[in-house]
Every structure is written in C-alpha cells, then in structure tokens.
C-alpha cells in the first residue's frame, strides 16, 4: 500500500452500526501531508464516530484505515503506536483532572515514550509555549478557563509529535468569547504544515484554513470540495441550506 509519498492517511469504506442503526454507511477519503479537512454536517450524522474509527477508539465493523501506508485497522497491540501518531482533541478537553497543565502534557512522554523526566518536562514546556500556556503550566484543569484547557489538550496531543491531528468540535463546549484563542492556535498549526481533520461548525475557520470541506449527512459523505466552491456553488440543495444556516449563525456570533 506504499503509494504517493505525501499521502498520510487513507480511509476506506468505513461502516459502523450501533444496534440496528447504521451510523457510518461506507466513508472513504484520503488526506495528503499538510492538508486540513473540515467535516461539517447535521447532528447525529456520524462525524465523531468517524474520527474515533480512524484512531480505533471505536472499532469499525468493516473498512480499513492506513497511516503512511501501514494498516491501522486490525493492528493489534501496535494500535498504541499508531494512536501516538494521530493526536486527538475532544470537545470536552478531557484533560487529566489530577494533573497540572504541565504534567498533562508530560505524562504520555514519560509513560508512553519512556522519556526521562527532565527531558519530558522540557518538551512539555515547549509544547505549552506553542499554545501560549507556559505561564499556566502549574495550574490544575479546574483552575483553567475552557479556552485555556483546550489549548493544553492540544499541546498534550502535539507532544507525541503526531503526523495528523483529529479535532472533534474543539470549540463547541466553549463560551463564544473563548473560541477565538483556540481557533487561533489551530490556524497557526495548519499554517505550520500540520495535517488536520477537524469536525467543526466554525465556518469562518473552515473558509480561511481548510483545503477541503466535507459535508456529511446520514452516515455518508454527501459532497466535498474546496471551501469557495462548496460555499458558493454546492451541488446539492441540502448542502446549500446547511451552509447558509451555518453562515448566518457565524455572522450572528460575529456581531456580538
């Protein structure tokens, strides 16, 4: 499966059912190095499930995922190696509540990568600096604002030097005035060449950062394309309606 060198992630025909409801009905796409793809779509469409099927936090019923041409699906214990290379950022941050910001970033360096404490601390501080959180390194998650917590969780994922970052609605649990600082960090990452898959309804971010917007509906990719094309010239009426609703919300949010 060694194809083009710049192909980082390949997702092929992912199916997933919960009970009798098929949540993913065959999703396929490819991601090249440095690309940012934004997933949008109605609630319950399977966007979160799709991201989790990629790093196998949820096991797909069928379909395959490759990272750098190596199969991630059915990889047994090796999954713990692949997961390090696919950083994940959750809607609710999921910071480790008993650890300071610094230790949140440090712990996987020490326990998973086997780094020495001193080396890990240095790297963790470096990552916190990247997201503008080095001054709060000693604070516990409960002492951070939502925006700060989410930036720490991004640093935590980045510390493993991932090849691709998966973001599942990273700003939707935040107060509107806090989304900016997180989107800023993500934008910087994308511009710095990170490969990213982002589930978000921040259409402004998608418009300015994404190489491609993927519109999902009812467990399938309905259509996809560069932001300008999808926003100005969508193939399906449903895409158009959804996007125009998002843009309205976005403008409303902007006026505040």
The binding site for ligand ATP (CB under 6 A) comprises: 18, 23, 43-49
Q: Contact region for another protein (CB under 8 A) — 12-20, 77-85, 117-125, 222-230?
A: 77-85
83 binds another protein (CB under 8 A): yes
Residue of 163, 152, 10, 9 lying closest to 84 (CA atoms): 163
Q: How many other C-beta atoms are found inside a 10 Å radius of the C-beta of residue 249?
A: 13
**Which is nearer to ligand ATP, 43 or 233 (by Cβ)?**
43
**Which is nearer to ligand ATP, 102 or 206 (by Cβ)?**
206
Q: What does the per-residue mask of binding to Mg ion show for 31-60, with x meaning CB under 5 A?
A: -----------------x------------
Q: Give the CA-trace dihedral at 205, 209, 211, 213, to 10 degrees.
A: 0
Q: Which of 121, 130, 150, 153 binds another protein (CB under 8 A)?
A: 153
d(CA 168, CA 171): 9
**Which is nearer to another protein, 46 or 87 (by Cβ)?**
87
**Which is nearer to ligand ATP, 47 or 123 (by Cβ)?**
47
147 binds another protein (CB under 8 A): no
166, 89 contact by CB (below 8 A): yes
Pairing mode, if any, of strands 220-225 and 62-67?
unpaired
Alpha helices in 159-222 (DSSP H): 176-191, 203-209
**Which is nearer to ligand ATP, 124 or 182 (by Cβ)?**
182
Beta bridge partners of 40: 215
94 binds another protein (CB under 8 A): yes
DSSP 8-state secondary structure symbol assigned to residue 99: S
210, 38 contact by CB (below 8 A): yes
d(CA 159, CA 180): 22
Q: Closest approach of Cβ 51 to ligand ATP, in Å?
A: 8
73 binds another protein (CB under 8 A): no
Residue of 163, 157, 193, 244 lying closest to 36 (CA atoms): 193
Q: Which of 9, 88, 174, 230 binds another protein (CB under 8 A)?
A: 88
Q: Is residue 71 helix, strand or coil?
A: strand
237, 223 contact by CB (below 8 A): no
The CA radius of gyration of the chain, in Å to the nearest whole number, is 18
Q: Closest approach of Cβ 9 to another protein, in Å?
A: 15
2 binds another protein (CB under 8 A): no
Q: Closest approach of Cβ 57 to another protein, in Å?
A: 6
Q: Contact region for another protein (CB under 8 A) — 26-34, 39-47, 105-113, 214-222?
A: 105-113
Name the residues that contact another protein, by CB under 8 A. 55, 57, 77, 80-84, 86-88, 90, 92, 94-98, 107-108, 111-112, 140-143, 153, 156-157, 160
């Amino acid at each position: 499966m060694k194809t083009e060198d710049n192909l980082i992630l390949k997702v092929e025909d992912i199916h997933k059912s919960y009970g009798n409801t098929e949540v993913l009905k065959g999703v396929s796409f490819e991601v090249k190095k440095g690309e940012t793809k934004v997933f949008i779509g109605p609630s319950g469409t399977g966007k979160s499930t799709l991201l989790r099927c990629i790093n196998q936090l949820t096991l797909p019923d069928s379909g395959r995922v490759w990272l750098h041409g190596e199969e991630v699906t059915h990889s047994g214990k090796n999954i713990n190696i692949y997961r390090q290379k696919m950083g994940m950022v959750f809607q609710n941050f999921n910071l480790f509540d008993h650890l300071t910001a610094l230790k949140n970033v440090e712990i996987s360096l020490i326990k998973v990568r086997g780094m020495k404490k001193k080396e890990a601390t240095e790297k963790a501080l470096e990552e916190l600096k990247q997201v503008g959180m080095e001054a709060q390194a000693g604070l516990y998650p409960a002492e951070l604002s939502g925006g700060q917590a989410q930036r720490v969780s991004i640093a935590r994922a980045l510390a493993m030097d991932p090849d691709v970052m998966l973001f599942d609605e990273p700003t939707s649990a935040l107060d509107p005035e806090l989304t900016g600082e997180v989107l800023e960090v993500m934008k910087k990452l994308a511009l710095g060449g990170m490969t990213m898959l982002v589930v978000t309804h921040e259409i402004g971010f998608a418009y300015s950062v994404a190489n491609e917007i993927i519109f999902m509906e009812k467990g399938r990719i309905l259509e996809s394309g560069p932001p300008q094309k999808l926003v100005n010239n969508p193939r399906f009426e449903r895409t158009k309606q959804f996007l125009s609703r998002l843009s309205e919300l976005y403008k409303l949010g902007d006026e505040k």
